[in-house]
Structure 1
């Protein structure tokens, strides 16, 4: 049986190229629905791709112009490419601060690329109104950085089990970040086992074989092992210093909703209430029998929550 989270109708068929002072990027994306409908952007987190949004994007494209994309180094979008003769840090290349900068620990580069893509869509499709944003995991921090630092204006913001307020970290993140070279030398079968265990820990219910394979597949391709290790290192050093002190501004400018799987093993449910207070959210909805992959554990309830929210804002 085909999973609801896989569909050729959401294949990323468009390409956006972007270059900043240090890197070049190729982002795969697509849109669904009537371009005259209100815009709606889905942002995925790590180690996922835009495929986590498939059934919701298809359903909501009946009423919205839906945008999907894969972040640099995730899903169908390749890793960013450093420009010749550029460096990302003035520190020695083997220093911890240099490695953190190279790994884009605070998601600065990914957020900058998203903001550039956002403004490209805005200009190309001549939006009549600002888009609604639905974000998961580190997509939450990306959306907040883009709004507060890169002049991206939203009609509303709905955040599902997001990375947005500290403290962060898991033992696996620290272990990999402290010894990335050792992990990169592990055989592929060992990395496959770590990857599967990592993904399994994100859900409350056992994932179907189809969904597990879909979530693993980008990291099993050539170069995927290095990309997976990179994102684990990145997760260990993520921070919100540039924006967390300004979160109260967000709720005064636009409606915010927080949705959280109560049994999240990665980010405890208490974080939902702390984040809701910091952002001055209009609503915090806690979903029972759901983990970090709340959209897989309770797709029906998430569909209802998103529909109610978008119908009210």
Structure 2
């Protein structure tokens, strides 16, 4: 069993020649009442979900993955063999992973670009979901900072930065996601995968390949969503304004409730894990 607040050792899955780190937590007693898949965003990994995952695993089987290019799925081969890590490729991988896990209709909880990936798997790849919980997700225009555009133009330059400068840049970037601050251990865990030579290359590769053109087909199809949806958002999200939560809910079918997390920024799974886990428990009870 993994320590509280940490994920178990990854189980690796090979899909179409890409090695993907996956994690599974299950109730210590009794059978799970359902399956929940947690999707991370950038520049995070499945580790961002660890506190919430342990809470949900009291009743559900919880499945997580590090998208290729992130966390324990960062490639370690030569540069020319790195997988494509744009949102189109990731949504296809999620759909394939749900099939690999033999999940007929899981509940999916998604954060940041993980929202675009989960919605894309549902709306464009045909994945059947029991429900969607969308948290500070990247879907609607505008998104993508000037930093993204700078990296896309000069990816090789950033990848060649001295390691100490790169680590400082990533720490500053991570710190900019929250409304307050995270403790030093949490920041270290979030930054660590990016500070190896392979991780440095992967960090700038995923930034450079993130493109709003890949979310527009998803945004255009939001009205075709075929499962219950709840939206959650940090009140002071510095990356994606709270107004997008209301707009997203408006574009989805039916009545979609929005949870505003008081005082939180973009990184709600770590800024307010207890509040989020409690809301997710209520949501899962509601949608069955």
Same fold (TM over 0.5): yes
Q: Is the partner of 2:134 in helix, strand or coil?
A: strand
RMSD (Å), alpha carbons: 2.3
Counterpart of 1:66 in structure 2 is: 62
Match of 1:43 in 2: 39
Partner of 2:281: 307
Indicate conservation of the 8 Å contact 1:173/1:236, yes or no: no
Tell me which residue corresponds to 1:26.
19
Q: What is the match of residue 98 of structure 1?
A: none
**Partner of 1:17: helix, strand, or coil?**
strand
Which deviates the most, 112-121 or 169-178? 169-178
Q: Which residue of 1 aligns with 2:148?
A: 173
Which ranges of structure 2 fall in alignment gaps of 5 or more residues? none
Q: Distance in 2 between matches of 1:175 and 1:272?
A: 27
- Given that 2:235 and 2:261 are in contact with CA atoms closer than 8 Å, whether structure 1 keeps it comes out as yes
Q: 2:257 aligns with which of 255, 261, 283?
A: 283
Distance 1:11 1:232, change over 3 A: same
What is the Cα deviation at residue 80 of structure 1?
9.4
CA distance in 2, matches of 1:181, 1:260: 34
Report how far residue 72 of structure 1 moved.
0.3
SS, match of residue 167 in structure 1: coil
Residue 207 (str. 1) matches residue 182 (str. 2): yes
Q: Please give the alpha-carbon distance, in whole angstroms, between the structure 2 residues aligned to 1:80 and 1:283.
A: 42
Which runs of 5 or more residues in structure 1 are unaligned?
Answer: 87-101
The equivalent position to 1:14 in structure 2, one of 11, 19, 23, is: 11
Report deviation, 1:144: 0.7
Paired residue secondary structure (1:242): helix
Alpha carbons of structure 1 residues 185 and 13: separation in structure 2 relative to 1, 3 Å: closer
Does residue 182 of structure 1 match 2:157?
yes
Equivalent residue, structure 1, for 2:229: 256
State the Cα distance separating 1:4 from its structure 2 match: 6.0
SS in 1 for 2:101: helix
- Separation in 2 of the partners of 1:304 and 1:255? 18
How many angstroms does 1:40 deviate by?
Answer: 0.6
- Paired position in structure 1 for 2:268: 294
Q: Partners in 1 of 2:237 and 2:173 — Cα distance?
A: 13
**Residues 226-273 of structure 1: CA distance to partner in whole angstroms, max 9, x if unpaired?**
1111122123555323222111111xx211000000111111111111
Which entry has the higher C-alpha Rg, 1 or 2?
1
2:133 is matched with 158
Residues 299, 43 of structure 1: alpha-carbon distance in 2 compared, 3 angstrom cutoff: same
Offset at residue 300 of structure 1 (A): 2.2
**d(CA) in 1 for partners of 2:189 and 2:197?**
16
The CA distance in 2 between the partners of 1:303 and 1:168, in whole Å, is 27
Over 3 Å counting, the alpha-carbon distance change for 1:27 and 1:66 in structure 2 is same
Q: Is the 8 A contact 2:74 2:202 kept in 1?
A: no
SS at match of 2:166: helix
CA distance in 1, matches of 2:174, 2:229: 28
